[in-house]
Every structure is written in structure tokens, then in C-alpha cells.
Amino acid sequence: IVEANEFTVGGKNGWAAPTGSEHETFNQWAERLRFHVGDTILFKYTATEDSVLQVTQEAFQKCNTTSPVASFDDGHTAFKFPNSGPFYFISGAQGHCEKGQKIVVVVMSQGGRRSSGISPAPSPSDGNTNEEVPASSPSGNPAVAPTSDAPAAASVLSGVLSGVAALAAVMAF
């Protein structure tokens, strides 16, 4: 059995428009974690003031709220990742996405995940329900979202290839 994780977006602030006092953007938070198929991302927000929209990459880049893939407005949205690949989320509240209230999550396949029968050592990059993410950069300006998931995917691929190369070097001796 493979264990799934739940990641809470926004920490104490929840899914909220950046105020400028945050140390990390939503995307910086997502980039330092590893999301797998079956994991859940939890958005906590005031249902009467905000919402979560799952959108396409193009809508994410343009903060276009008109034709979301899915829309959530219950104030406690738990989204379970059904497959690998990039998932794009933006705020449905007017002007919030433009302020940086948006996140892209790159989900990996189950291949690298250990079963619950094995207890891996905890890692600082492992997600848990108490992970916090402020929503803006230290300068107070919203972070610019990547134009594609290629940089994140390249980073993951680079790490995997480095590990394989190191293993091959050790086995050669």
C-alpha cells in the first residue's frame, strides 16, 4: 500500500491574496515539495470571499477565470491528484491571481514513492499537513509564474539523472 500525503496551501494564512509580508510564494513552496499521484492539496479560505479554480496553463499565465477546468467555493477544498503532470490553480476572486494568488503543482508518478511498510527517514522537503507557504516574495511583489512546467520538470529530471550517474560511478568501482 502506498501512503498519500496532504499538503495545506498557505499555512496560517490559508489560500489568500498576498499581503507583501510573506517570505515565500505559493510556487516556491510547491517547487520544494514532491507531489505524487494520490496526494491531496488542501486550500482553506473564506468561502464567501474567495474560491479555487483549476485552470489550463494558458489561463494560469493570463489569470483568466472565465473557463476553469474545475471550480471550488466551499472554503475547504481538498483536491486529490488523479494523475501525474502539472496542475494549475488560481484564485477566483477578482484581482487576487494578479497579486500572486496562484500555484502550479507538478505531480510525479507513484514510481518513486515507498510503500507504507517501509519507514523512510523524514526529509525537510517531505510535505505534511502543517507545511506553510506565504504568498508573496520578500520584495512584496507577486512572483512571476513560470511560462511552462519545463523548468520544474527539468529540475526533477536533472536530480534523477545525477542520482543515476552517482550510482553508476559507485557500482563501477
Q: Residue 30 sits in a domain of what CATH number?
A: 2.60.40.420
Q: Is 149 inside a domain boundary?
A: yes
Asked if 101 and 13 count as a contact pair (C-beta separation under 8 A), the reply is: no
Which of 26, 7, 8, 6 has the alpha carbon at shortest distance from 134? 26
Q: Is 86 inside a domain boundary?
A: yes
> What local confidence, expressed as pLDDT, does residue 11 receive?
80
Q: Is 52 inside a domain boundary?
A: yes
> What local confidence, expressed as pLDDT, does residue 20 receive?
82
Q: Is 12 inside a domain boundary?
A: yes
Q: Is 1 inside a domain boundary?
A: no
Structurally, how many domains does the chain consist of?
1
Q: Is 148 inside a domain boundary?
A: yes
Residues of the chain with pLDDT under 70: 1-2, 111-173
For the record, the C-alpha cell of 162 comes out as: 545525477
Domain coverage including residue 111 = 6-172
Q: pLDDT per residue over 66-114, tens digit each? A: 999 999 999 999 999 999 999 999 999 999 999 999 999 999 987 655 4
> What local confidence, expressed as pLDDT, does residue 112 receive?
57
> What local confidence, expressed as pLDDT, does residue 102 receive?
97
Q: What count of Cα atoms within 13 Å lies in the side-chain half-sphere of residue 92?
A: 22
